[in-house]
A and B are shown apart, each in its own frame.
Chain A
Amino acid sequence: KAGVTQTPRYLIKTRGQQVTLSCSPISGHRSVSWYQQTPGQGLQFLFEYFSETQRNKGNFPGRFSGRQFSNSRSEMNVSTLELGDSALYLCASSLERLTNEKLFFGSGTQLSVL
């Protein structure tokens, strides 16, 4: 069974641009969560999608958004990029809602904002 797949693996953007990251969950998983990982702040929860609806949201500005498609694949978008958005963005999937703690993480997308 394939694991959680995130694309692209690496991304370089400049300030003010926007970026879209993609996450394909494990087959059969319906929940996708996104996390931002930085050396200073550690792992911070961005949001969770389940059945194409955002179910939970962390404390990030509105520049961070996402969506989920009917096949459970999810995309995350960051608009008007800032230098501080440079981070490893991790996607995690689980069978059901976040109440199920068995999260399976992808390898992440490393975003560098110049």
Chain B
Amino acid sequence: GDSVTQMEGPVTLSEEAFLTINCTYTATGYPSLFWYVQYPGEGLQLLLKATKADDKGSNKGFEATYRKETTSFHLEKGSVQVSDSAVYFCATREDTGRRALTFGSGTRLQVQP
């Protein structure tokens, strides 16, 4: 089945620093790729998505590009804010069969003022 590997956290950055959270996946087909964010005490929210190779998902200053050749979907933001502190989950969705989401283990981001 599909699997997703994310960099271990926590990632601690100062405000306005550049953020990269690495994500790689294994899949048998051509999955869709997602980043979800979980703020403290809340459920997960879809942050961005990409459905085919070379697609770039973007939202709230975050970006991620679907790289089929490296099976990666790294999350980036040019200038983080304290309000970005949360846990970020990379996920894949199978393009056939069960089509359930497979999540990575999550990466906690802490942004200090």
Contact = CB atoms under 8 A, between A and B. Distances in A.
Give the size range of B's interface with the partner. 20 to 34
A90 B101 contact: no
A68 to B, nearest CB: 16
A99 B99 contact: yes
Interface stretch (A12-20, A69-77, A78-86, A102-110): A102-110
Interface residues of A, number: 25
Given A42-B105, A101-B49, A4 B43 contact: yes
A103 B100 contact: no
Interface in B71-93: 89, 91, 93
Contact of B43 (A42, A98, A105): A105
A64 interface: no
23 contacts: A3-B43, A33-B100, A42-B89, A42-B103, A42-B105, A43-B44, A43-B106, A44-B103, A45-B100, A48-B100, A90-B43, A92-B43, A98-B99, A98-B101, A101-B49, A103-B44, A103-B46, A103-B101, A105-B36, A105-B45, A106-B43, A107-B41, A107-B43
Given A33-B100, A48-B100, A103-B101, A108 B49 contact: no
B93 to A, nearest CB: 6
